[in-house]
Amino acid sequence: MASGQVTFPTLLDPSVLPSSSPCLARHFTATPTNVSLSPMRLPSSTRAPATVSEPGCVQHTETTTTTMTTTPTAFGVQVQTVTHTVTTFGNVEPDNETGTENARDVAQCETDKEVAHPSNSTIPTVRNRLPFVPGKDVYVVTRAQLPGIYKDWHAVLAVTKGVKNPIFEARADFADAKEVYTIAYEEGTISAQPIPGGVYDTGSYVDEPIELEDILVSSLRGLTFRQYYVPRPTDLLTCNLVRPNSHKFYLVTKGEAVGVYGNWHQAAVRTEHVKSRGSRFRKCHTWREALIAYTIAFENNEIEVFPIAGGIFDTPISQETPEQLFC
């Protein structure tokens, strides 16, 4: 219990009779009189402390006591004193001898008072289903020392350590991860990069040179004009690479290939090697959001396809030499 007293002295004009209050009415004379007056008290206004119904909740009770004291002086001056006494009551745990409050119970008490139960609300509601975001317990790894599907995060760290720009992501379950891995496998974009002499360098393989001389030279010299496929917004609805039932969507508007994809792997392999040319992608929360964004970019001529010459995405729909173009 903590108490504090504040005193507010009020000086009254001696030429004005304080007849407005019956408790303070008296007559003054020009000369001092030897009248002994006892202090008069008005009934105190006291609010009793409220009953604490819930443990841990703090109740504040203010008790105001008004005391009026009449003091005779040589000039007939009355001094009125008003005293406010504020008392704070705190309810604590009965078994806690230190007197500290339970903060969790206090917060719960305040929450119960401020938040009304939905069943008591008279406002009509419409059920709006939220997108399903499952747990992230399975990881699909498509570029690492040993690609595959893992359930342990530490295993993911082990197989991706030492690999430049590894590609992996968390999926809902094993079936979801297997579907992503299958898509990457069928398009030929899974990359196994074991460290020579490491624990994962156990498979047999042969390094074969890739014949890119003719394609690369003709591309650098500008001897061919290639046209690549840019899907229309309506084409995305029938594209097999897009899974509208996915909870992840990645929009690629500039890269080796463009479109909307249902996993991070497909967006990464189409943008990471052409960052210097201004590849662009973004993550969307819904299929509708991704489709609208792609449509706007398509109508504004902001879609660009620039695959690496001889790369996996260098599959032009048409190719012409300067002689064929100007003949």
* Full DSSP string of 146-188: S-EEES-HHHHHHHHTT-SS-EEEEESSHHHHHHHHHHHHHTT
Per-residue pLDDT of 26-60, as tens digits, reads 444 444 444 444 444 444 444 444 444 444 444 55
More confident residue, 200 or 59: 200
Q: What integer is the mean pLDDT of 105-128?
A: 45
Give the model's pLDDT for residue 310.
80
Domain boundaries, the chain: 138-192, 226-305
Least confident among 22-26, 225-229, 232-236, 241-245: 22-26
Give the model's pLDDT for residue 180.
92
Distance of CA 211 to the CA centre of its chain: 50
Return d(Cα 41, Cα 22) in angstroms, integer: 12
With cut-offs at 50, 70 and 90, classify the pLDDT of residue 22. Answer: very low
Whether 261 has a pLDDT exceeding 70, the answer reads: yes
226 close to 316: Cβ distance less than 8 angstroms: yes
Whether 313 has a pLDDT exceeding 70, the answer reads: yes
Per-residue pLDDT of 183-198, as tens digits, reads 999 999 999 999 988 8
Average pLDDT, the chain: 69
Q: What integer is the mean pLDDT of 258-282?
A: 93
**304: which 2 tokens?**
């660009």
More confident residue, 263 or 324: 263
226-305 folds as Ribonuclease HI; Chain A (3.40.970)
Q: What integer is the mean pLDDT of 118-129?
A: 51
Return d(Cα 166, Cα 172) in angstroms, integer: 20
Task: For tokens 């709006």, name the residue.
Answer: 128
Return d(Cα 68, Cα 83) in angstroms, integer: 9
Q: What is the 3-state secondary structure (H, E, C) of 95-107?
A: CCCCCCCCHHHHH
Q: CA end-to-end span of the chain, whole Å?
A: 102
295 close to 259: Cβ distance less than 8 angstroms: no
